């Protein structure tokens, strides 16, 4: 388990990379800007307790929008709205980056109230063996939240 940042970098208005780093996200942005030979923009980041597990989970939830690798055909607003019940992404401000040392736990924690809220969002329960299928429920809720953000435009 390794604490670090999950960041969202925007290459184009509807093309974002969701990745991880143990360093400040601006260092990773500089590396990627050099690699892609264009200026990329960090849109948001959050601190998590287990960067590999949480990144893998986010990539799974957004897999329908994957273009390639860690790049998704989503805007920052769609991603942050879609994941708002699971991760607290902050608009990126290079002068005010939360420190990893700061005791701020944002890893996923699903309790019964959250499951009920997702059920309401989905408007129909997904049941497996008499219990909510948490992965399917979360995935459907994330997709509905993304679609809701797209309708706002």
Helix (H) or strand (E) holding 55: helix 51-61
- pLDDT tens-digit series, residues 84-113: 777 777 666 655 555 544 333 333 334 455
Is the pTM higher than 0.75? The answer reads: no
Q: Considering the chain, what is the average pLDDT of its residues?
A: 75
Q: By three-state DSSP, how is residue 150 classified?
A: helix
Let me know: does 51 contact 45? Beta carbons within 8 Å.
no
Which residues fall within 8 angstroms of residue 153, CB to CB, at 6 or more apart?
none
The structural domains of the chain, with segments of one domain joined by +, span 4-152
End-to-end distance of the chain based on CA atoms, in angstroms? 38
Lowest mean pLDDT, pick from 15-29, 53-67, 72-86, 124-138 = 124-138
At residue 128, the pLDDT reads 43
Residue 16 has pLDDT above 50, yes or no: yes
**Among candidates 96, 14, 91, 3, which has minimal Cα distance to 45?**
91
Let me know: does 144 contact 138? Beta carbons within 8 Å.
no
At residue 98, the pLDDT reads 52
CA dist., res. 23 & res. 33, Å (int): 16
Phi, psi of 117 (to 5 degrees): -65, -45
């Amino acid at each position: 388990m390794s604490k670090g940042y999950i960041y969202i970098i925007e290459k184009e208005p509807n093309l974002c990379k969701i990745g991880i780093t143990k360093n400040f996200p601006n260092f990773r942005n500089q590396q990627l800007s050099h690699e892609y030979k264009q200026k990329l923009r960090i849109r948001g980041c959050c601190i998590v307790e287990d960067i590999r597990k949480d990144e893998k989970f986010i990539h799974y939830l957004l897999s329908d929008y994957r273009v390639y690798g860690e790049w998704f055909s989503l805007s920052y607003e769609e991603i942050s709205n879609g994941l708002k019940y699971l991760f607290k992404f902050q608009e990126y401000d290079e002068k005010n980056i939360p420190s990893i040392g700061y005791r701020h736990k944002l890893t996923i924690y699903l309790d019964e109230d959250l499951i009920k809220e997702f059920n309401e969002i989905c408007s129909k329960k997904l049941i497996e063996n008499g219990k909510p299928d948490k992965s399917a429920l979360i995935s459907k809720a994330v997709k509905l939240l993304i679609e809701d953000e797209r309708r706002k435009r």
